[in-house]
Amino acid sequence: MTDTVYGPVTDWATDFDHGAPEYNANIYKIWEDLKAAGCPIAHTERYGGTWLPLTNEMVHEIAYDTEHFTSRSVVVGQLKPSEVPDALPAPIGGAPPITSDPPFHQEARRILLPAFAPKKIDPLRDEIRQMCHDLIDNMGDAELIDAAEQYAQHIPVMIIASMAGLPKEDGDIFRSWVHVILAGIGESREEREPVFLALNEYLEKAIEDHIENPRDDLISFLLEAEIMGNKLSREHVAGTIILLMVAGIDTTWSGIGNSIWHLATNPVDRRRLVENPEMLPMAIEEFLRAYAPVTMARLVKQDYEFHGVQMKEEDWVLLPFPAANRDEAKFENPDQVIIDREENRHAAFGLGIHRCLGSNLARLEMNVAVEVFLERFPDFELNTSEEMVWSTGQVRGPRQLPIRIKARK
Residues found near ligand HEM in the complex (CB under 6 A): 63, 71, 74, 97-98, 109, 160, 243-244, 247-248, 251-252, 255, 293-294, 296, 321, 348-350, 354, 356-358, 361-362
Q: Minimum distance from CB of 386 to ligand HEM (Å)? A: 25
The phi and psi torsions of 294 (rounded to 5 degrees) equal -110, 125
- When the beta carbons of 153 and 251 are compared against ligand HEM, the nearer one is 251
- When the beta carbons of 136 and 318 are compared against ligand HEM, the nearer one is 318
Q: Minimum distance from CB of 314 to ligand HEM (Å)? A: 17
Q: Minimum distance from CB of 78 to ligand HEM (Å)? A: 20
Q: Minimum distance from CB of 281 to ligand HEM (Å)? A: 14
Instruction: Confirm if 99 and 92 have CB atoms less than 8 A apart.
Output: yes
For residues 72-102, one letter each, b for 16 or more C-beta atoms within 10 angstroms of the residue's C-beta and e for the rest, the string is bbbbbbbebbeeeeebbebbbbbbbbbbbbe
Q: Minimum distance from CB of 29 to ligand HEM (Å)? A: 22
- When the beta carbons of 19 and 97 are compared against ligand HEM, the nearer one is 97
Cα–Cα distances in Å, from 234 out to 109, 214, 219?
17, 15, 10
- When the beta carbons of 294 and 403 are compared against ligand HEM, the nearer one is 294
**Residue closest to ligand HEM when measured from CB atoms:** 358
- When the beta carbons of 76 and 296 are compared against ligand HEM, the nearer one is 296
- When the beta carbons of 44 and 70 are compared against ligand HEM, the nearer one is 70
Q: Minimum distance from CB of 148 to ligand HEM (Å)? A: 14
- When the beta carbons of 251 and 367 are compared against ligand HEM, the nearer one is 251
Instruction: Confirm if 59 and 321 have CB atoms less than 8 A apart.
Output: yes
CA-CA distance, 75 to 34, in Å (whole number)?
A: 23
Task: Write the single-letter amino acid at 237.
Answer: V
Q: Quick one: DSSP state of residue 44?
A: E
Q: Minimum distance from CB of 298 to ligand HEM (Å)? A: 7
- When the beta carbons of 9 and 225 are compared against ligand HEM, the nearer one is 225
CA-CA distance, 285 to 294, in Å (whole number)?
A: 14
Q: Quick check: helix, strand or coil at residue 142?
A: coil
Instruction: Confirm if 365 and 247 have CB atoms less than 8 A apart.
Output: no
- When the beta carbons of 24 and 252 are compared against ligand HEM, the nearer one is 252
DSSP count for the chain of H helices, then E strands: 15, 14
- When the beta carbons of 20 and 62 are compared against ligand HEM, the nearer one is 62
Q: Minimum distance from CB of 7 to ligand HEM (Å)? A: 29
Q: Quick check: helix, strand or coil at residue 3?
A: coil
Cα–Cα distances in Å, from 229 out to 208, 224, 226, 232?
22, 11, 6, 10
CA-CA distance, 340 to 51, in Å (whole number)?
A: 34
273 burial type by CB count under 10 A (0-12 exposed, 13-18 middle, 19+ buried): buried
Q: Minimum distance from CB of 288 to ligand HEM (Å)? A: 7
Collect all residues with Cβ–Cβ distance below 8 Å to 212 and sequence separation of at least 6.
none
Q: Quick one: DSSP state of residue 86?
A: T
Nearest partner of 360 among 284, 250, 300, judged by Cα: 284
DSSP-assigned states of every residue in 170-231:
GHHHHHHHHHHHHT-TTS-HHHHHHHHHHHHHHHHHHHHHHHHS--SSHHHHHHH-EETTEE
Q: Minimum distance from CB of 119 to ligand HEM (Å)? A: 16
